[in-house]
Amino acid sequence: MSTQTGSKKLSTYEHLPMLTTPTFEGLPIDIRDLVLRLLPNYDSLKAAVLSCKAFHEAYKSRRRSIEMEVFCTQMGSYLQFHMRRTSLMREQLRSLRETGRDVETSDLLRMMSWSI
């Protein structure tokens, strides 16, 4: 292995082709489509589509299916959050009932304002 610096190559593998920097434009449309489908929410999809021409082209060609996939992912996260929140509220209500305390509207409102 050569140790020369400057404009000379540091490798003795001159017979190998030079690689270019990969770009999103170089990816097949199916891969760009998959990347867009894996985004967690609509805001991320919008940012990707507006920031990269290659993503915009993939989005234009498969708009409805990409939007539906991202929507389902976003709704799944939303539902998981609210199912967990409901579960915590039930646990708290059960605990209040076990103490013999009457559950008041203010208790319910306080529980509904919790964040997880």
Residue 15 inside a domain? The answer is no
Kindly report, residue by residue over 38-65, the tens digit of the pLDDT: 999 999 999 999 999 999 999 999 999 9
DSSP string, 52-84: -HHHHHHHHHTHHHHHHHHHHHHHHHHHHHHHH
Residue 3 inside a domain? The answer is no
Residue 36 inside a domain? The answer is yes
Residue 57 inside a domain? The answer is yes
Residue type, 67: E
Kindly report, residue by residue over 67-77, the tens digit of the pLDDT: 999 999 999 88
pLDDT computed for residue 18 by the predictor = 67
Residue 99 inside a domain? The answer is yes
Q: How many domains does the chain have?
A: 1
Residue type, 89: M
Residue 12 banded pLDDT, cuts 50, 70, 90: low
Domain assignment of residue 95, given as a range = 24-112
Kindly report, residue by residue over 60-112, the tens digit of the pLDDT: 999 999 999 999 999 988 888 888 888 887 887 787 777 777 766 676 666 66
Percent helix, strand and coil across the chain, each to the nearest 5? 65, 0, 35
pLDDT computed for residue 92 by the predictor = 77
Residue 10 inside a domain? The answer is no
Q: How far apart are CA 48 and CA 77, in angstroms?
A: 20
| Burial class of residue 39 in the structure, from the number of CB atoms within 10 Å of its CB (0-12 exposed, 13-18 middle, 19+ buried) | buried
